[in-house]
Amino acid sequence: MSGVRVLVGTRKGAFVLRADGKREKWEVSGPHFPGWEIYHLKGSPATPDRLYASQSTGWFGQLIQRSDDGGVTWEPVGNEFKYHGTPGTHQWYDGTPHPWEFARVWHLEPSLDDPDTVYAGVEDAGLFRSADGGRNWEELPGLREHSSGPSWQPGAGGMCLHTIILDPAQPERMFAAISAAGVFRSDDAGQTWRPVNHGLHSEGIPDTGAEVGHCVHRIAMHPSRPSVLFMQKHWDVMRSDDAGESWSEVSGDLPTDFGFPIDVHAHEPETVYVVPITSDSQHFPPEGKLRVYRSRTGGEEWEPLTRGLPQEHCYVNVLRDAMAVDSLDDCGVYFGTTGGQVYVSADAGDTWDPIVRDLPAVLSVEVQTLQ
């Protein structure tokens, strides 16, 4: 029987939420790694019971945990993330040079076909890969050592590589997004990279249309159309139809185009979801109403989705890695909030229910569709 497994990373541990295909009754397990920050968990598409989790604290640093039974038991694996060579400097918030320093793993992206291969996006921005199930990690230095690297600067959350997208049609192609540098693309399996930010415009940098320096919050792709990308930038919702070569704004009639997550319906490549947030200085929903916005036209025209979501006195945020979709026939949409709620919609966003209401602040949400 089909079902779903939702992997939730929070400020104080990980939680695994399970349900059958109806997505009405939920079994909650956790906290796993209680008291630790779990920035992200994700399962291997090739072997769904293989999960990876990024566990960290400021006290004791970074750990990577691996499960081979769908999150029931876990094993700490390798946690040495050493930059290649002698790392140079990037820009600090005030524009002065600042040494590259590893802080934590923001995002784990398992290979599409090999459960032992997994990529890690880290702060300070860099891309690492393990080919042995997380025991050993090696940097793919071509990204950090791109000639623009010394000009990258941190966003408010740190200088993080937060998004990794693997192209299912072209195994050599991958995308990475960095706050606040922008989107980079590799066409040789991560060896060399180039920025793909043409069309982005950002206030707060000297050249608003510069090649790098944009605070990209999240990018998303539908696997059936890997040349189409959607982006939630610091401000602006953007779209590319040429694998990032050029971008155009599709914010349209959104009440605000600031936000963090963006995702695409599992079966409708032109159906896109965002969660508008008031502004970069007010990280909560406009008017205290938690609304997901859906476009069925690939952007520009957006409709608010509110049924089951709080429509007064709601001042939570939804972080960049905290939205996901399942691939059941009726596409499920999930997101978690900094107030500790995880919401599910089993009807593509028309109605919402909380799975849990009182977790620690949610950092990430992933969902696995199980057959």
Interface contacts to other proteins, rule CB under 8 A: 34-36, 57-63, 76, 79-80, 82
**Closer residue to other proteins (CB): 101 or 207:** 101
Q: Which residue's structure tokens are 């604290």?
A: 57
**Closer residue to other proteins (CB): 63 or 221:** 63
Q: What angle do CA 55, 343, 294 make, to 5 degrees?
A: 110
CB 13 within 8 A of CB 364: no
Minimum Å gap between C-beta 54 and other proteins is 14
Upper half-sphere CA count for residue 362 (Cβ side, 13 Å) = 32
**Closer residue to other proteins (CB): 77 or 365:** 77
Minimum Å gap between C-beta 37 and other proteins is 10
Tell me whether the omega of the peptide bond preceding residue 31 falls within 30 degrees of 0, making it cis.
yes
β strands within 207-271, DSSP E: 216-221, 229-233, 237-240, 248-249, 258-264
Minimum Å gap between C-beta 67 and other proteins is 15
Burial class of residue 75, CB neighbours in 10 A (0-12, 13-18, 19+): exposed
Query: d(Cα 338, Cα 351) in Å, to the nearest integer?
Result: 21
Minimum Å gap between C-beta 79 and other proteins is 5
- Residue 241: phi, psi to the nearest 5? -110, 10
Minimum Å gap between C-beta 190 and other proteins is 23
**Closer residue to other proteins (CB): 34 or 171:** 34
Upper half-sphere CA count for residue 108 (Cβ side, 13 Å) = 35
Minimum Å gap between C-beta 49 and other proteins is 21
**Closer residue to other proteins (CB): 60 or 93:** 60
Burial class of residue 199, CB neighbours in 10 A (0-12, 13-18, 19+): middle
**Closer residue to other proteins (CB): 295 or 338:** 338
